[in-house]
Amino acid sequence: MVSILNEPQPPHSLDLVIDFVNTLDVEEGTDSIERPKMLAAWLAERELLGHGEPVSEGDHSGAIRLREALRALMLTNNGRPGDDGAVRELERVARHGELGVHFEPTGTVSLAPAAAGTAGALARLLVPVASALADDSWRRVKACRAPDCNWAFYDRSRNRSGVWCDMAVCGNRTKVRTYRENAPRERR
Ligand SMILES: [Zn+2]
């Protein structure tokens, strides 16, 4: 997706992780990786998987669990209590994809999955997460607090106080709802 705002990309290719979480549009009820074939195409488009490489049913359900675990962690970045299940899920994907540390003779270090196929592709999605956790930029990766939205976004506010994916849409909608719920009943 091309941003209409002239903003730089978030660091560590976090937009890849954000796009992955946003394959489910909670508000519209649409899922662009609903079937294994759709997931294979999504991963191939991003060069995480070879074109024509299949995704099994098991790998597909693993991907959906990973997506929702990432969303849960993004909600934690937006004020929700921490989620043990979500971090366990990330560890499972990392193990399954044989995510390991690679030391280069030039003195650099990187994370990369040793597993091929979907297991490796899913583990590769965790590389930006690990890099962002290391420098704290992960805390800016949030899921919108509106329960009927949960859209993933990178919070660019100066003091990291962003709560809504779009203040004009979710922020105002939620405010109006809270106002209605709390408004005193009219007297007759
Ligand atoms: Zn929203």
On whether the CB atoms of residues 114 and 100 are closer than 8 A, the answer is yes
Distance CA 5, CA 87 (A): 32
Taking the centre of ligand 1 as the mean of its atom positions, its distance from the CA of residue 111, in whole angstroms, is 32
Taking the centre of ligand 1 as the mean of its atom positions, its distance from the CA of residue 124, in whole angstroms, is 27
Taking the centre of ligand 1 as the mean of its atom positions, its distance from the CA of residue 143, in whole angstroms, is 8
Distance CA 154, CA 162 (A): 9
**Predicted model pTM:** 0.88
112: three-class secondary structure by DSSP: strand
Taking the centre of ligand 1 as the mean of its atom positions, its distance from the CA of residue 166, in whole angstroms, is 6
Question: For residue 130, what are its two tokens?
Answer: 């690990």
Taking the centre of ligand 1 as the mean of its atom positions, its distance from the CA of residue 149, in whole angstroms, is 5
Which helix (H) or strand (E) segment holds residue 149: the answer is: none
Taking the centre of ligand 1 as the mean of its atom positions, its distance from the CA of residue 26, in whole angstroms, is 10
SS3 breakdown of the chain: % helix, strand, coil, rounded to 5? 50, 10, 40
Amino acid at 109: V
Query: What is the pLDDT at residue 172?
Result: 80
pLDDT tens per residue across span 97-138: 999 999 999 999 999 999 999 999 999 999 999 999 999 999
State the DSSP code for 140.
Answer: G
Question: For residue 167, what are its two tokens?
Answer: 């203040």
Taking the centre of ligand 1 as the mean of its atom positions, its distance from the CA of residue 134, in whole angstroms, is 27
pLDDT tens per residue across span 12-67: 999 999 999 999 999 999 999 999 999 999 999 999 999 999 999 999 999 999 99
